[in-house]
A and B are shown apart, each in its own frame.
Chain A
Amino acid sequence: MSMMTLPIKCFGVFRKFGESLNVDIAVGSSVLEVKQALIQKLGQDQKVLVEESVLANDNEILPNVYILKEETTLSILPPVCGG
């Protein structure tokens, strides 16, 4: 199984973990699997927050079924409260 490292930029409440996080995951994993890997990395006490958040690239928010075929920088976007 070929692995890749995904840098994930942190926003909002995720900034407590730093500017970005690296997640090691199999090539061809889904966004949902990346979120599950994030929960493993951050701990079960972050499970609800991660599940309520979305992952995005620099163009769009990615659905949970989106397949990541190569290394790319993502962002984790927690629930928003602009205005």
Chain B
Amino acid sequence: MNGIKALVSRDPLSLQDAVAYVSDTGHGAIDTFIGTVRNTHEGKAVTGITYDVHKTLAEKALWDICAEAQGIWRATRYYVAHYHGTLDIGGISVVIAVSSPHRAESFEACRYVIEEIKKRAPVWKKEHYIDGISDWLPGHSLSSEAETSVTCCGHCGEEAHA
């Protein structure tokens, strides 16, 4: 499938790279999402986050999510990058860009991609707190493809798309 670039990187993520990849003369909209490290979590002062990643499976998951979105919102292009390593406050952990002929598809597809990443990409966060303590955050259990139903776009009310 064309129009998808998915990667995990230990280098700083680039919004410019994302926008450049999805740019298309036939597309009149580019929606972007940038995930950054927040300075608090549940009332605790955070100094940074370490992102642990299974690179091979994460890049596959990111690509699969984009391919699913492309199946729902046709004629869309995707760039998604996730950071691997430790970031300070304000550091960029994820960059997503989606382009489409009209704006509605870009907004919806971009939202779909980030929500699915949070549930399905093999990425783990270890938060570092101002008191020197660090904790791995809880998350969503993964499942094999054989045990997973296709995720709905959230608009049609069906359990799964055909």
Show the binding face of B for A, using Cβ within 8 Å: 35, 51-54, 56-58, 60, 82, 93-94, 114, 117-126, 136-147
Question: Given A80-B123, A82-B118, A83-B35, do A63 and B139 touch, yes or no (CB 8 Å)?
Answer: no
Smallest Cβ distance from A15 to chain B, in angstroms?
A: 7
Give the interface size bracket for A toward B: 20 to 34
Per CB-CB distance, the 6 closest pairs between chain A and chain B, nearest first, are A82-B123, A12-B124, A81-B139, A79-B139, A13-B136, A63-B144
With contacts defined as CB atoms under 8 Å apart, how many contacts are there between chain A and chain B in the complex? 92
Contact A12 B143 (CB under 8 A): no
Chain B contact residues, majority secondary structure:
mixed
Smallest Cβ distance from B20 to chain A, in angstroms?
A: 22
Q: Write out the residue numbers on chain A whose beta carbons fall within 8 Å of the beta carbon of B147.
A: 63
A1-43 interface code vs B (CB 8 A; 1 in, 0 out): 0000000000111010000000000000000000000000000
